[in-house]
Amino acid sequence: MKRYLFLLALCFAVGADAASLPATVKQSLKQAGIPLSAVAVEVREVGARKPLLSLNAEQSMNPASTMKLLTTYAALDILGPAYTWKTEAWIDGELKDGVLQGNLVLKGYGDPKFTIEQFWLWLAELRARGLREIRGDLVLDRSYFELPPHDPAAFDNDPVRAYNVGPDALLLNFNTLRLRYLPDGDRMNVITEPPLDGIRLDNRLTPQPARGCDGWDDGVVVQPGGDSVVLQGGYPGECGEREHNLSVMPHTRYIEAVFRALWKELGGTLHGKQREGIASAKAQLYSTHRSEPLSSVIRDINKFSNNVMARQLFLTLGANGGASIERSTQAVSGWLSMRQLDFPELVLENGAGLSRKERISAAHLAQLLQHAAAHPLSAELQSSLPILGVDGSMKKRMKESRAASHAHLKTGTLEGVKTIAGYVRSQGREWVVVLFINHPRAKHGQAAQDALIEWVYEQR
């Protein structure tokens, strides 16, 4: 009986909240064909005990990339903003007069942003230390991450997309190849970055008429296979120079191809093959590369919604001699409990939000943002979020609105999911804003999100 009365009261509460939803938001949702039952909203002033606005806020929903707010805030609190990742180079054999009679072992610890530029500088350092010729193998030690095999096609059957790259203890340059398309009359030149030794680009693209340039790459088909990448289909030359980043080979083959190209450029030679393994007991640590600090890494994760970086960070949270999804899930749960944040509906899969399984309620994500606003490192988290109408994933959004530059907001988008969460400042007041849409027509819900931001900004 008590449970019945509680549910009845909850129904009345939801009805009252729906009635208080701003008219502009309700109208936008109606025009988009999205029912209120598919929407969850929570708006509250920072520091306030009660929300200004709440609709279906206790409902467990898919947050898409707004889940990165949980991962990055937990990382700031657990690891600290100055935390860095290491990557080690081990000499497994005798090094004399620049010649290594043995193997060079590269061991990764999950650096989320080990770029080509950083890799080149590190290899240049190895050369400066005296290593020139490697007569053994290039051994890749990826053992720090204990993960099941990753299927890049599992999420949406588009395995070459950069967002589908799986985490890796020895992740290099997000495991992506940048393809730059350079129209030249009836010809279509394509250049690749970074250089890949032993990989052939087979360009079979032909010119095609433009049907608008928003989907300029719709006619481009990229087919990786072995040691070649085949480009087929048509490219609209009227769209000018364009580029995109794709993942076209396994992590180990990618690292080998980049290493051989850069090592050769630096005057070095590698006689052996690439293989996975670990350093022997007799190996000696030769050099350690340190990553950018966490405070810099979370800016890329949140401002540009980088999924593979978020996954790397999530795995780091539970690392203790090794990293796994289970350990990280337990680490986040333990951290929430320690901070007296009880989120029983929370479901974690990768911490990035690129998931059909992950769940959290709008009320609890708002509670997390409230908690973060009172944290000594709150400025670090907020500065990592896209600024409305200025940068990141919000750069082109609401540029003409009076709210532009007055909000730090993280967006999330999946098929059937459209979300937004963050902070809005107005008249010396700061508000936590969360809006989730889980519905087949969710992609049409942006106007409703914008209307809510405008409404919050106008609060006095």
Number of structural domains (the chain) is: 3
Residue 218 reports pLDDT greater than 90: no
Residue 398 reports pLDDT greater than 90: yes
> How many CB atoms lie under 10 A from the CB of residue 103?
21
Over residues 191-210, the pLDDT tens digits come to 889 989 999 999 999 888 87
**Mean pLDDT in residue range 437-457:** 98
**Mean pLDDT in residue range 307-312:** 98
> What are the CA-CA distances from residue 106 to residues 115, 355, 458 (Å)?
15, 31, 54
On whether both 53 and 133 belong to a single domain, the answer is no
In a domain, 29, yes or no: yes
What pLDDT score does 134 carry?
98
Residue 215 pLDDT level (bands cut at 50, 70, 90) = confident
On whether both 190 and 118 belong to a single domain, the answer is no
In a domain, 6, yes or no: no
**Last residue of one domain, picked from the residues 230, 246, 262:** 246
What is the extent of the structural domain holding 413?
A: 13-82+295-457
Q: What is the CATH number of the domain that holds 304?
A: 3.40.710.10
**Mean pLDDT in residue range 325-336:** 98
**Last residue of one domain, picked from the residues 292, 313, 348:** 292
On whether both 102 and 70 belong to a single domain, the answer is no
On whether both 328 and 441 belong to a single domain, the answer is yes
On whether both 449 and 301 belong to a single domain, the answer is yes
What pLDDT score does 65 carry?
98
Tokens found for residue 42: 């929570």
What pLDDT score does 7 carry?
39
* Residues 247, 250: Cα–Cα separation, whole Å: 8
In a domain, 8, yes or no: no
Residue 6 pLDDT level (bands cut at 50, 70, 90) = very low
Residue with tokens 């809006």: 435
* Residues 112, 175: Cα–Cα separation, whole Å: 11
Q: Percent of the chain, pLDDT > 70?
A: 96
Residue 18 pLDDT level (bands cut at 50, 70, 90) = low
Residue 371 pLDDT level (bands cut at 50, 70, 90) = very high
Q: What backbone phi and psi angles, to 5 degrees, belong to 302?
A: -85, -45
On whether both 126 and 58 belong to a single domain, the answer is no
Residue 2 reports pLDDT greater than 50: no
In a domain, 420, yes or no: yes
Residue 5 reports pLDDT greater than 60: no
* Residues 62, 209: Cα–Cα separation, whole Å: 39
In a domain, 387, yes or no: yes
In a domain, 166, yes or no: no
Residue 74 reports pLDDT greater than 60: yes
What pLDDT score does 17 carry?
59
The candidate with the shortest Cα–Cα distance to 213, out of 179, 240, 185, 239, is 239
In a domain, 159, yes or no: no
> What are the CA-CA distances from residue 248 to residues 115, 253, 338, 418 (Å)?
17, 10, 42, 28
Residue 19 pLDDT level (bands cut at 50, 70, 90) = low
What pLDDT score does 208 carry?
85
Of residues 93 and 208, more confidence is placed in: 93
In a domain, 154, yes or no: no
On whether both 63 and 96 belong to a single domain, the answer is no
Beta bridge partners of 224: 229
On whether both 441 and 381 belong to a single domain, the answer is yes
On whether both 200 and 335 belong to a single domain, the answer is no
Q: What is the CATH number of the domain that holds 279?
A: 3.50.80.20
- Across the chain, mean pLDDT equals 94
**Mean pLDDT in residue range 228-243:** 90
**Mean pLDDT in residue range 2-23:** 52
**Last residue of one domain, picked from the residues 263, 292, 321:** 292
Residue 374 pLDDT level (bands cut at 50, 70, 90) = very high
On whether both 278 and 397 belong to a single domain, the answer is no
**Mean pLDDT in residue range 90-107:** 98
* Residues 18, 16: Cα–Cα separation, whole Å: 5
| Range 158-164, long-range pairs (CB < 8 A, 24+ positions) | 159/247, 160/222, 160/224, 160/246, 160/247, 160/248, 161/246, 161/247, 162/245, 162/246, 162/247, 162/308, 163/307, 163/308, 163/354, 164/247, 164/307, 164/354
Residue 408 reports pLDDT greater than 60: yes
pTM of the predicted protein model: 0.93
Residue 122 reports pLDDT greater than 60: yes
Residue 8 pLDDT level (bands cut at 50, 70, 90) = very low
Residue 294 pLDDT level (bands cut at 50, 70, 90) = very high
Residue 445 reports pLDDT greater than 90: yes
On whether both 400 and 305 belong to a single domain, the answer is yes
On whether both 214 and 184 belong to a single domain, the answer is yes
**Mean pLDDT in residue range 395-410:** 97
